């Protein structure tokens, strides 16, 4: 089993606030999408989890409300349907909750980007720095073909390190990463995203 590794601890290079796509709350100056309030209300902010000082955005209450969960998925489906997206790449673990539903609805395949030593086949790897530690993502060799249009899905972007690692994995395999999509963006980091020029679309900023 081969493994190719690359380290993005110096951040992805390029990027910055211009990579941020305004979410539906502000898009084109229109009124906020009426579904957003219930989505926002269903996200619980837990102080000091998993470490002191971290305000943890917990999406599990949203999953307990099927109509609100569906609205969140639908908002991404409405954005990406008809855009020639061949694959949705979901980031373990919480990108696995939203990504497959979006992929099925737009007729795309789903690519799991997993934490180390979970995928049984040949993988490529990227290490990255988190708000509260370091981690690594892996993807099966052959999961995507050169030139395929891919959207990366996760629940939340904080520093952008995880999305940056995902973009690098996909681009190393020749994919055309169109956009990253998250429910939540942490505003304290939004000027610092390093995502190699790939836009990040968020439904909302964290309330705290
Ligand atoms: O923008 P960043 O600073 O990289 O942080 C965002 C990432 O952190 C969280 O996952 P986490 O690493 O906690 O893993 P988990 O979903 O397995 O709990 C979240 O689901 C994102 O994947
Ligand atoms: N504040 C936060 N809440 C939930 N997930 C996170 N991942 C990184 N920072 C996070």
ipTM of the prediction: 0.98
If residue 73 lies in a helix (H) or strand (E), which one and from where to where?
helix 66-80
Bridge partners (DSSP) of residue 151 are 88, 179
What atom in ligand 1 is closest to the CA of residue 50? 13
Nearest ligand to the C-alpha atom of residue 154: 1
What atom in ligand 2 is closest to the CA of residue 55? 1
| Ligand 2 pocket residues where CB is under 6 Å | 54-57, 131, 156, 158, 186
Structure tokens at 9: 């601890």
Domains and CATH numbers, the chain: 5-205 (3.40.50.2020)
Global pTM?
A: 0.89
Nearest CA-CA partner of 198 in 160, 146, 172, 147 = 160
Report the C-alpha gap between 187 and 154 in whole angstroms.
16
> Considering only CA atoms, which residue is closest to atom 2 of ligand 2?
56
Nearest CA-CA partner of 69 in 25, 92, 115, 38 = 38
In the block, residue with structure tokens 């307990």: 64
Per-residue pLDDT of the chain (208 residues; tens, 9 = 90+): 334 444 433 333 333 334 566 566 555 556 789 999 999 999 999 999 998 999 999 999 999 999 999 999 999 999 999 999 999 999 999 999 999 999 999 999 999 999 999 999 999 999 998 766 789 999 999 999 999 999 999 999 998 999 999 999 999 999 999 999 999 999 887 766 658 789 999 999 997 6
pLDDT of 8-26, one tens digit each?
333 333 333 345 665 665 5
Structure tokens at 73: 């998925």
CA 156 to centroid of ligand 1, rounded, Å: 7
Q: Which long-range contacts (CB under 8 A, 24 or more apart) does 50-55 make?
A: 50/132, 51/132, 54/131, 54/132, 55/206, 55/208
Residues labelled as active-site residues: 94, 131
């Amino acid at each position: 089993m081969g493994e190719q590794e690359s380290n993005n601890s110096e951040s992805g290079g390029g990027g910055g606030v211009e990579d941020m796509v305004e979410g539906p709350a502000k898009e084109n100056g229109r009124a906020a999408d009426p579904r957003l309030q219930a989505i926002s209300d269903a996200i619980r902010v837990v102080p000091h989890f998993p470490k002191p000082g971290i305000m943890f955005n917990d999406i599990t209450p949203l999953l307990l409300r099927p109509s609100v969960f569906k609205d969140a998925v639908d908002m991404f489906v409405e954005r990406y349907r008809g855009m020639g997206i061949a694959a949705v790449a979901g980031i373990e673990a919480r990108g696995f909750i939203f990504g497959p539903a979006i992929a099925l609805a737009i007729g795309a395949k789903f690519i799991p980007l997993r934490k180390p030593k979970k995928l049984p086949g040949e993988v490529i790897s990227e290490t990255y720095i988190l708000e509260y530690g370091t981690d690594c993502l892996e993807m099966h060799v052959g999961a995507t073909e050169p030139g395929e249009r891919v959207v990366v899905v996760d629940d939340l972007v904080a520093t952008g390190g995880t999305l940056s690692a995902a973009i690098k994995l996909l681009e190393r395999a020749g994919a055309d990463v169109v956009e990253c999509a998250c429910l939540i963006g942490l505003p304290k980091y939004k000027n610092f995203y390093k995502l190699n020029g790939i836009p990040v679309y968020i439904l909302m900023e964290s309330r705290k």
